[in-house]
A and B are shown apart, each in its own frame.
Chain A
């Protein structure tokens, strides 16, 4: 029986309304418990800040697409070697790797844990590539993890929508989640990826038709959002809207939110979808319109997808976006059309503070944070590695908590497109420690429907981080003093010491068998993988319950 009492720390546990109170946290066998005998081992956290372990609800760390990016970046890996940590357990093989914007698997796990993150979701996995995602998650130690399955451009679903059979579409979605070991439904540029595969490069709107007048982004969104909600999945449908990255796309984003009219839905990397155009046709911030909609609608949640200056790698199922980026930036480009399901595109990118569009993107992200009325519903992400690396989260936290620091940064960036932006006009807000705990842990855990994560109440998973306070919040959040994962002390005195395997978070909702038989017929007609070979093998962790919301 393993026990640990963390004593005397200032605890920020917003889910349990604890806001910096000094108290002990008791851990037994990987869970938070009410009390422990006095003889239990202790960890002195006096004068330190204790929070639940970080939860990243949207990043790209374990997928075939991530590997396309890794393969494309030998020169970046060469600049960012990562030596193996010194681990105590002889049964754990410490692994070296490469860092940079798209770190190798083991390095990814070590570095997330080194930042105090203990739960991580890859936000976009093509169902046919699920085995690869699981294999990479198996090699991403410490963190608990899972992924979202890409739906919304898949041929079988589009056929069901064309035939008006949305109930069967729901059953199909349930089958996909179970067959691939996924956690949630991800929608990327609904219809737009399929249009790209058909040779269309124009932007879409909600009523753009795909072959049939019944198949539109609107119909796809309604179908899949309703599926997630009817199946009572722990997480809402996770939506990457149409027209990502294009000026004027805020209209699409707002129209999408309005189309879903009261349904529970999560809108991801909103920064990339909050671009307006000014009367003279130039880019402008539409952050205020977007965030005001989110503030006013309880059914809507989002993550920001902040842009951070420096190197990034854009990688997405939204393949047409990558084609456009390749054409405009001239950087190298990888594209993989993925049969019957989705796309994949990768282009390395650089966000420069003297580049007007990059400066605008950076400002829009901050505006979304600073104008947000509810930190529980608008949480932190950089869409790693699209807007920047997860390693930049501490600097992002500093920008949110420290206005003086932020103002210095604002003054440095290219101002050309910032006219009229709320940020340039001076937003005084500074995030509190409690709010940071919400947008990096408690909020994402709640949005994901993870009952045992993101808080330190009795029964919760013993995932927590102990920080030494520092005036420079980036310093504080980049170097946790201790990290506990599942009751195991993985970071001690700032050093990674243990790297146990994480758990797999996935769901397996029930579905009608008649749908499975029909899917098998579809595979026989058009697939290149046998139906029997499509589902992943049994995962080492049981699925999480559905319908428990």
Chain B
């Protein structure tokens, strides 16, 4: 075994907390330890070993052959779908959007599947928010609303709030009041000073009552809201309205939980905004791992929309209400390009994507169960085998450090496909103009 080396301050994409204090210990070409990492982080770093297969229709080929097959097949398709799975750096995501633009494809990401209600609510109303450090340094009242921190964001409490001291909360946990709101089975796993339980059926009414009290302290019971909503709301309002700075923390994509509607997120967004009339409040809608916030941000910067983009008309159109995944037949999707780590996809998404002619490029792409006609290029993991950038759940950008050598770079591979497509399209254009010249038109 070679002498271990340590890559300090590595960034983890295990969840949206994107902790950047991981010391990765490498020996004999493997990750043997990820110090400071939580269970999600340990799973994300693993031992750093990933497959490195490159195949076209099941046969091993060179990377160049696979890239040019991928470009050719995608160009042939009438209605390709480019799908951004979790696990890409911002640099790789930027190339992914270029491919979709060139192909006039549909472009989607896991955001449409898991976080669309929150996304639409914040586009409709805006949001009152902050970066995580602001909540760490200021929040004297924290509300964890139906969020399972222990399972979904294991280091949030220790790294951001309520535990660490901050500039305006010098005694950390002791300087803060922590309120846990359990919504049905969505238990807010946190050591709370106040804990209230809300039935899922009453959640919207409770948020509405709380906003009403915030906007008008002498708000009367309104018959359309159940009494128990008012009771809980009054209890919460007591703590919230005496705060200097409220951190309202919830999950933007509560996976595997009951369906969360846009209206529910609108109520959370609107409550946070209203609280700013009385004190200060920042809502944190947390995102899961794999640089999902990065994908949204790159799509917004390049297309104007965070997900569910259709380039069919030669420019990006937002089509969030009709997911190509939920109803692939309606879009005539005839080829799919999956970019990123397919093991990070919800299984239903993975199955739907695999039902088409598929090109899969990313770490562990070859682990996807695909049909006979497919191009597969395994690449390294951005953040383990390649450096780059990722965004934390609050859009704070962080560097990704490469700890190991590994398969080819994802960003460069996608770039290769983009340039291949560009060349083919230029050839098509040249052929078309030669043809029209020959016809004397």
Chain A contacts to B: CB under 8 angstroms: 64, 67, 70-74, 77-78, 81-84, 90-91, 93, 95-98, 100, 104-106, 128-132, 135-136, 139, 155, 197-199, 323, 326-327, 332-340, 346-347, 526-530, 532-533, 537
In angstroms, how far is the closest chain A Cβ from the Cβ of B149? 16
Could you show 25 A-B contacts with beta carbons less than 8 Å apart? A71-B122, A71-B300, A72-B122, A72-B126, A74-B123, A74-B305, A90-B423, A91-B419, A95-B98, A96-B101, A98-B305, A98-B315, A333-B273, A335-B126, A337-B130, A339-B130, A339-B132, A339-B133, A339-B396, A526-B136, A528-B132, A529-B133, A530-B20, A532-B9, A533-B9
Q: Is the CB of B301 within 8 A of A139?
A: yes
Q: Contact at B94–A70, with CB atoms within 8 Å?
A: no
Q: B102 touches which one: A70, A91, A93 (CB < 8 A)?
A: A93
With the chains together, A303 CA to B398 CA distance in Å? 34
Decide if B127 touches A81 in the complex (CB within 8 Å).
no
Query: How does the 8 Å CB contact mask read for B302-326 relative to A, with 1 for contact and 0 for none?
Result: 1111100001011111100000000
Which residues in window 80-106 of B have CB below 8 A to A? Answer: 90, 94, 98, 101-102
B245 at the A interface (CB under 8 A)? yes
- Which residues of A sit under 8 angstroms from B334, Cβ to Cβ? none
Q: Report whether A72 and B418 are in contact in the complex, using a CB–CB cutoff of 8 Å.
A: no
Residues of A near B282 (CB, < 8 A) are 335, 337
Q: Which of B121-152 contact A (CB under 8 A)?
A: 122-134, 136-138
- B270-313 vs A, Cβ < 8 Å mask (1 yes, 0 no): 00010011011010000000000000111011111110000101
Closest CB in chain B relative to A326 CB, distance in Å: 8
Residue B264 at the chain A interface, CB threshold 8 Å: no
A-B pairs with beta carbons under 8 A, tally? 194
Complex Cα–Cα for A28 and B304 (A): 38
* Chain B residues within an 8 Å CB radius of A91: 419
- B131/A337 in contact, CB under 8 A: yes
How far in angstroms is the closest Cβ of chain B from A545? 27
Say whether, besides A197-B134, A339-B136, A537-B399, A104 and B301 are in contact (CB < 8 Å).
yes
- The size of the chain B interface, using a CB distance under 8 A, is 70
A74-B123, A78-B318 as given contacts; A533 in contact with B11, CB under 8 Å:
yes
A155, closest chain B residue (CB): B167
- The docked-state distance in angstroms from the alpha carbon of A90 to that of B426 is 8
User: What are the 10 closest A-B residue pairs judged by CB atoms, nearest first?
Assistant: A339-B133, A98-B304, A77-B304, A131-B397, A337-B130, A81-B315, A528-B133, A334-B126, A332-B126, A96-B315
- Would you call B202 an interface residue if the criterion is a C-beta within 8 Å of the partner chain's C-beta atoms? no
B166 close to A (CB within 8 Å):
yes
- Assess whether A97 is in contact with B167, with CB atoms less than 8 Å apart: no
B125 touches A93 (CB 8 A): no
Which residue in chain B gives the minimum CB-CB distance to A96?
B315
Min Cβ gap A258→B in Å is: 33
Candidates B123, B245, B276, B316; contact of A72 at CB < 8 Å: B123
Q: Do A64 and B395 touch across chains, with their CB atoms under 8 A apart?
A: yes
Instruction: Give the nearest-CB partner of A337 in chain B.
Output: B130
Closest to A323 in B: B276
Per-residue 0/1 for B11-32: is the Cβ within 8 Å of any A Cβ (1 yes, 0 no)?
1000000001100000000000
**Shortest beta-carbon distance from A105 to chain B in Å:** 5
Given contacts A532-B9, A533-B399, A338 and B301 within 8 Å (CB-CB):
no
Complex CA distance for A67 and B396, rounded to whole angstroms? 12
Q: Which residues of B contact A347 (CB under 8 A)?
A: 126
* Residues A530 and B9 in contact in the complex (CB < 8 Å), given A91-B419, A96-B314: yes
Q: A82-B315, A105-B302, A533-B20 are in contact. Are A132 and B133 (CB under 8 A)?
A: no
Residues of B within 8 A of A67 (CB): 297, 300-301, 395
Does the CB pair B130–A338 fall under 8 Å?
yes
CA distance A142 to B383 in the complex (A): 30
C-alpha spacing A131/B11, complex, angstroms: 15
Q: Is A81 a contact of B316 with CB atoms below 8 Å?
A: yes
Please name the residue on chain B nearest to A331 by beta carbon: B126
Asked whether B128 lies within 8 Å of A333 as measured between CB atoms, the reply is yes
Within the complex, what minimum Cβ distance (angstroms) separates A112 from chain B? Answer: 16
Contact of A97 (CB < 8 Å), options: B21, B277, B303: B303
User: A72-B123, A199-B244 in contact; A336/B131 too (CB < 8 A)?
Assistant: yes
Q: Which residues of B contact A327 (CB under 8 A)?
A: 277
Once the chains bind, are A338 and B131 in contact (CB under 8 Å)? yes
Task: Determine whether the beta carbon of B134 is less than 8 Å from that of A132.
Answer: no
Q: Cβ of B304 and Cβ of A97 under 8 Å apart?
A: yes
Instruction: Tell whether, in the assembled complex, residue B304 and residue A70 are in contact, meaning their CB atoms are under 8 Å apart.
Output: yes
Residue of B nearest to A82 (CB): B315
Question: Which among A70, A72, A81 is the interface contact of B313 at CB below 8 angstroms?
Answer: A81
**9 additional A-B residue pairs with CB within 8 Å, beyond A81-B315, A334-B122:** A72-B122, A74-B123, A90-B423, A95-B302, A98-B303, A129-B395, A323-B276, A334-B129, A336-B129
Given contacts A71-B306, A333-B273, A526-B167, contact A339 B301 (CB under 8 A): no
A338 to B167, CA, bound (A): 14
From B127, B245, B302, B389, contact of A104 by CB (8 A) = B302
B137 touches A339 (CB 8 A): yes
- Evaluate contact between A132 and B395: CB separation under 8 angstroms: yes
Give the Cβ gap from B354 to chain A, nearest Cβ, in Å.
28
B316 to chain A, nearest CB (A): 6
A72, B126: Cα distance in complex, Å:
6
Indicate if the CB atoms of B124 and A332 lie closer than 8 Å: yes
CA distance A93 to B9 in the complex (A): 35
Shortest B284–chain A CB gap in Å is 11
The residues of B that contact A100 with a CB separation of less than 8 Å are 304
Within 8 A of A (CB), among B189-229: none
For A73, the chain B residues whose CB sits under 8 A away are 304
The complex places the Cα of A346 from the Cα of B168 at a distance, in Å, of 26
Q: Cβ of B422 < 8 Å from any Cβ of A?
A: yes
Q: Is the CB of A197 within 8 A of B101?
A: no
Given that A96-B311, A139-B94 are known contacts, is A526 also in contact with B166, CB under 8 Å in the complex?
A: yes
Whole-angstrom distance between the alpha carbons of A73 and B304 in the complex? 8
Once the chains are docked, how many angstroms separate the CA of A78 from the CA of B391? 26
* Shortest CB distance A131–B (Å): 4
A81 to chain B: which residues have CB within 8 Å?
313, 315-317
Contacts of A77 in B (CB 8 A): 304-305, 316, 318
Give the nearest-CB partner of B124 in chain A: A332
Are A128 and B396 in touch, CB under 8 angstroms? yes
Q: Is the CB of B389 within 8 A of A131?
A: yes
Q: How far is the CA of A64 from the CA of B397 in the complex (A)?
A: 9
